[in-house]
Chain A
Amino acid sequence: MSFTIARTVEDALAAIAAGARPIAGGTDLVVGARHGKAALPADLVAIDRIAGLDDITAGSAGLTLGANASHHAIEHHPVVAGSYSALADGSALVGSPATRHVGTIGGNVMNASPAMDTGAGLVVLGAEVELRSLHGTRRVPISELWSGPGRTIAQPEELCVAVHLPQPAANSGSAYLRLEYRRAMEIAVVGAAANVTLAADGTVAAVQVALSAVGPTIVSVMGLDTLVGSSVADAAEAAAAAASAQATPISDVRASDRYRRHTVGVMARRAVETAARRAAGETIAIPVNRTLGIGAAS
């Protein structure tokens, strides 16, 4: 049993190579252990004090989030809120103020819960995660990262050091929203993110949609290329139908599969509509759930 406090990424990589599990905010790892989900790993390496690992850097190439960037920092970063709104919408919904200050993007992504609130946004924004080990670094498209509930393709000795997002296209906008039964300390019943690029005539030039809590991992909705050239309203309807059709939800105490399949379509439709409004230059405050009153109306 050991607990190492890493000061540098190299410290952390060495500890991980020796078998330790990284712990960032601990809001999944520790809380899960207390709930009996999985025992706390015997060896832990705390990565939360690594200098610079929580940096958020915006540049011409896009946006880089250090793995330790907190949900609070993401939610309130002007560039994230303005140009990567779907991500900010997601981070702003996580738990409570306390959870958002402690919980990190790296933890959210690597925890690989299909109900995670940043995942769908990251998928539609085309994010890549940067995984590093003592042997080197690789970048993985985020939609290829998750291999099942709580599982990623990362090797045990790999640390997620950053999440990279490309510069969004001109005239594009994004949004994430979720169905929730209450307005704090909630888990997505279902969720949907959309990234919409508008043509000069106001029709859809590109649209991506991804879904949370309706499958073993975040679901990328396929076959939306055909919507290029259609009106936003038609695209939203089609995306809703595709989302409901492609979702593979389960029934549990929170909702039945039938209800999830229906409501994920509603979320997808609203995500496309909201993303399109943002693409058209409208400011819709973060998070969409509160501003537009989705699910629990404002």
Chain B
Amino acid sequence: MTVTTPAPNPARFIRADGPDKVTGSGRYTADLTLTGMLAAKFKYAGIAHGRITRLDTTAAKAIPGVFAVLTQADVPNVRFGPFVQDRTLFADGVVRFEAEIVAAVAAVDAATAQRAVDAIVVEYELLPVVNDPETALAADAPLVHTDWASYGASGALVRERNDASFSSIAKGDVERGMAEAAVVVRSRYDADGCHAAPIEPRAIVAQWEGDKVTIWTSTQVPYDARAGVCETLELPANRVRIIVPHLGGGFGGKCGFHFEAHIAALAKAARRPVRLLFSRREEFLAPDKRRESICYDFETGVSSDGRIVARRVTLVLDNGAYTADAGFFSQLGAMHALGPYRIPNLLAEAHLAYTNHQPSGSVRAPTAPQTCWALESHTDEVARAIGMDPVAFRQLNAVDTGLEGPTGQIYGEIGVQECIERAARMAGYGQQLPDDEAIGVAIGWWPSFAVPSGAYVKIDGDGSAQIITGAQECGTGSVMTLPQLAADELGMSAADFQLVYQDTSVAPYDMGATGSQTLFNNGRAVIAAAAQIAQQLRALAADHLEADPADIVLADGQAFVAGTPGRAVPIATLAGIAAGGELLIGHGSGMPPGPPPISGSTCVGDAGMAAWVAPQFSCHAVRVKLDRDTGVARIMHVAAAHDSGTIINPLGAEGQVQGGVLMGIGQALTEGTGYDNEAHQRTAGLLDYKLQTCADAPPIDIHFVQINTPNAGPRGAKGLAEAPNVATAAAIANAIAQLVGAPVRQLPMTAERVWDTLQEVAQNTIGGAA
């Protein structure tokens, strides 16, 4: 039984940073100029795999206006990486992907820096290029890291040669399940990698004062960036300050630690502030954040009454040249390949294969949209094979409240069934459509990430308040909801609060704009901090009104005695009193909810992704029109139903769903990163890497299934930034498959791939008829 409750305070408020960004008065990292500032440029490998036989920076250093030229020899010899310590700041003698940094230059201006970069002499002995993740796993495949066995790594990872992280999930007896199934369906799917493509190419400015460095950077995760600088330059945390001016989008691409240490090291060597500005091409090639390509082999057995009895699935993920934050992707991908379904017997095996490609890393819901696409395409094949309606098949097999998920997690109140019902209804599923239109349906899920987080709240003598938080805003508006939470706790209005954020030396730790976690965790911290002040205010008011603190109510900017609203004092007055005594300062963190228990499954390579706190569910139903002569698909309408718990700000929440859906459409149809035979990206620019535009946006109907979620974030909120990006491509695929007569087995489902599939179907039909 699911209960839909309205949000306690569904304020539709416009985000505080909006006017700055829209009017152009907001400042981004690239807008900063410091006295004496130099320009940085990187020397990239340009080849995908080779051993450096000569590296000579003499000529570059001799160019007038060049202040510093650095290589790995000039920085501490530290190997780093969040899961596998396989990376160095500069090439360690071997380059492993085309945009590996071999050297960095700081010079008076960008043109001089570029001349110096061009004057750096590098010679290589070419090594065999590992260009395909599946063949990379062969026993005799050339190694991307010959020293892989000696690298430090997280203890949970299971590694072997080019397999940087093997993970499996097993439950029941998959052999027997398959043997007992009435029908077994096998499918193969291949998803290309794709990009976060934020509008702001990254920028970094570093300046030293004595032995302390301040780094302004376009990162989604300031504390991670700080940790990376500290680790690689061997500095204590309190000597590195990371400040993020406005961030021009991230979509995960700016998670992790990137180039902050390079620029700090340049600034130190040059004894001048240094600024790095990426070109669009660099933004495509250099960050270790590309959505991973994955290939899938599915096998699902169903009973004659349409119940899934067994699933076997193998995933090979492209890790790229370094492991970055992808260490947990194999287990996360395996979870998504099993999906929010009840499956008694299963075996999922996932490999994270090193290749000579750009490293993979968190892009909005890593592993999820492409795996949902593959799984849900496969699910429609299964439903068709036993003659069941795809929606009915999902209703029968999806998890639900009180039922057991693939790893044996028993769910509390969840809304997946209601999402299916709502999305189908909003889309008009079942209606008569023209023969070039169809509605596809897919369900998706995504965890909430419960992690430590901190915030301070203070109210000054005039009654105005500040939230000083470690949280980072990447465009979701999530940080902008924090004042509402503090205001509700303190009986004030959101407008009474200013935010101080994105500065690691000012606020306590937060994981950053990653994992849809800001509201979930920092919301908890802000409420805890505000609660401390609320207690102070109650004590002050009790004194002032001669009442019991327990009877004091904070509301409408006042403190009053419960039951007698006439006995009241403005909070601003209390703040004035406090300013002369004990100041109104609160700090908060709160304990993150612990992981739910699981039973009955065995997980190898367990990265903590087998059980999900406050899991989010979604169902998207998409109406697609297909031009069968050309294979061009057009999205006519999207219905998106989401269980992301309580919605705190509907305006912001709808924006997340609209953006997630549009990104999903791009992933479905036009966004893909292919490699040529030398492992160079073929579409490293916005001309050929085709994002969706506003002109392409279809009408999007949204419904939030709001449920009293146990063990969730503030007021029962889960996350929402990543979940809307999960199911769109899958729903589109299922519509296209109906129109084509077969699934398109590659993502993106470009017009040409759709057309190719149409040709195959036509040929098979003719062949079958003959």
Contact = CB atoms under 8 A, between A and B. Distances in A.
Contacts of B625: 293, 297
Interface of A: 35, 179-187, 189, 253-256, 259, 262-263, 266, 293-298
Contacts of A180: 632
B277 to A, nearest CB: 14
Contacts, number: 65
Contacts of B685: 35
Given A253-B688, A259-B755, A262-B755, A183 B632 contact: no
Contact of B752 (A35, A186, A259, A294): A259
Contacts of B752: 255-256, 259
Contact of A181 (B674, B682, B750): B750
A293 B632 CA distance: 10
Nearest to A255: B752
Nearest to A31: B687
B630 A182 contact: no
Residue picked from B629, B630, B752, B755, most chain A C-beta under 10 Å = B630
Given A184-B693, A296-B696, 15 more contacts: A179-B630, A181-B632, A181-B750, A182-B670, A182-B693, A183-B695, A259-B751, A259-B752, A259-B755, A266-B630, A293-B634, A295-B632, A297-B625, A297-B627, A298-B634
B627 A181 contact: no
A181 B634 CA distance: 9
Contacts of B750: 181
B630 A183 contact: no
Q: In this complex, which of B692, B750, B752 has the most chain A Cβ atoms within 10 angstroms of its Cβ?
A: B752
B690 interface: yes
Name A's interface SS: loop
11 contacts: A179-B751, A181-B632, A181-B690, A182-B690, A184-B693, A186-B690, A253-B682, A259-B756, A297-B625, A297-B634, A298-B634
A297 B625 CA distance: 7
Nearest to B437: A297
Contacts of B694: 184
A183 B696 CA distance: 6
Interface string B664-695: 00000110001000000011010110101111
Contacts of B693: 182-185
Contacts of A266: 629-630
A293 B629 CA distance: 12
Interface in B472-523: none
A4 B756 CA distance: 52
Contacts of A179: 630, 632, 751
A143 to B, nearest CB: 26
A265 to B, nearest CB: 9
Nearest to A187: B687
Contacts of A259: 751-752, 755-756
Nearest to B676: A253
Given A181-B690, A182-B695, A185-B693, A253 B683 contact: yes
B674 A253 contact: yes
Contacts of B627: 293-297
Given A255-B752, A256-B752, A184 B696 contact: yes
A256 B631 CA distance: 13
A271 B630 CA distance: 14
B695 A184 contact: yes
B283 to A, nearest CB: 14
B247 to A, nearest CB: 24
B688 to A, nearest CB: 5
A39 B436 CA distance: 47
B72 to A, nearest CB: 28
Nearest to B628: A266
Given A35-B687, A266-B629, A296-B632, A181 B669 contact: yes
Interface residues of B, number: 27
A181 B629 CA distance: 14
Nearest to B755: A259
A101 to B, nearest CB: 16
A263 B754 CA distance: 13
Contacts of B682: 253
A181 B670 contact: yes
Q: Which 4 residue pairs across A and B have the least CB separation, nearest first?
A: A183-B695, A184-B695, A184-B693, A297-B634
Nearest to A267: B630
Nearest to A259: B752
Interface in B239-285: none
B630 A295 contact: yes
A11 to B, nearest CB: 31
B444 to A, nearest CB: 24
B44 to A, nearest CB: 15
A37 B688 CA distance: 15
Nearest to B756: A259
Interface in B720-770: 750-752, 755-756
A297 B687 CA distance: 21
A263 B630 contact: yes
A255 B674 CA distance: 13
A266 B632 CA distance: 12
A198 to B, nearest CB: 24
A182 B692 CA distance: 7
Interface string B692-725: 1111100000000000000000000000000000
A83 B571 CA distance: 72
Contacts of A182: 670, 690, 692-693, 695-696
B501 to A, nearest CB: 34
Nearest to B688: A253
A254 B752 CA distance: 9
Given A182-B670, A183-B693, A254 B632 contact: no
Given A266-B630, A295-B630, A297-B632, A181 B751 contact: yes
B111 to A, nearest CB: 13
A180 B669 CA distance: 12
A259 B754 CA distance: 11
A213 to B, nearest CB: 14
A186 B690 CA distance: 9
A114 B755 CA distance: 24
Chain B CB within 10 Å — which of A181, A253, A295 has the most?
A: A181
Nearest to B632: A295
Contacts of B692: 182
Contacts of A187: 687
A256 B756 CA distance: 11
B430 to A, nearest CB: 22
Contacts of B687: 35, 187
A235 to B, nearest CB: 18
A220 to B, nearest CB: 23
A296 B751 CA distance: 10
A253 to B, nearest CB: 5
A180 B696 CA distance: 11
A221 B272 CA distance: 63
A248 B413 CA distance: 61
Q: Which residue, B626, B629, B692, has most C-beta atoms of chain A within 10 A?
A: B629
A140 B764 CA distance: 51
B670 to A, nearest CB: 5
A119 B669 CA distance: 28
A296 B690 contact: no
A179 B630 CA distance: 8
A268 to B, nearest CB: 12
- Among B436, B669, B682, B696, chain A packs the most CB atoms within 10 A around the CB of B696
B584 to A, nearest CB: 50
B195 to A, nearest CB: 14
Contacts of A185: 693
Contacts of A255: 752
B744 to A, nearest CB: 14
A227 to B, nearest CB: 21
Nearest to B685: A35
B284 to A, nearest CB: 13
A189 B685 CA distance: 17
B27 to A, nearest CB: 24
